[in-house]
């Protein structure tokens, strides 16, 4: 395991649609004691950024950074990552994350297994 592990690497791999890297980083995070729920919220944050920046860019926003409240670095990376996703993929992944969260909270699915499945199938 890398000593310089950064959980945000999962977000970058997710945004670049590198499913192998996402899975490896997911496993490394779990081995380090990071909870599936914490990983879930990082992925949710990434997806929310993708949806927010996409909406602002398509609406002709003059200053995405200011209107989104996101750091310029995050906006730049998110704009680049948007090329990897269709509108349908973003909506479907968002819906699947919400469904996973509620199913896990209600005890209908194991959070870790559900998230792993989602990450290798998005």
Residues 87-119 have pLDDT tens digits of: 999 999 999 999 999 999 999 999 999 999 999
pLDDT in tens, 69-90: 999 999 999 999 999 999 999 9
What is the reported pTM?
0.89
The dihedrals phi and psi of 44, each to the nearest 5 degrees, come to -60, -45
pLDDT in tens, 63-73: 999 999 999 99
With a pLDDT cut of 70, the percent of the chain lying above it is 98
Q: 16: which residues sit within 8 A by CB, 6+ positions away?
A: 81, 84
């Amino acid at each position: 395991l890398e000593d310089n592990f950064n959980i945000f690497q999962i977000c970058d791999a997710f945004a670049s649609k590198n499913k192998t890297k996402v899975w490896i980083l997911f496993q490394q995070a779990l081995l380090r004691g990071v909870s599936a729920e914490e990983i879930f919220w990082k992925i949710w944050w990434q997806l929310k950024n993708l949806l927010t920046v996409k909406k602002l860019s398509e609406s002709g926003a003059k200053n995405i950074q200011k209107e989104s409240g996101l750091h310029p670095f995050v906006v730049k990376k998110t704009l680049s990552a948007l090329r990897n996703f269709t509108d349908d993929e973003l909506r479907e992944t968002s819906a699947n994350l919400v469904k996973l969260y509620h199913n896990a909270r209600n005890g209908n699915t194991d959070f870790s297994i559900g998230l792993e499945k989602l990450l290798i199938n998005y």
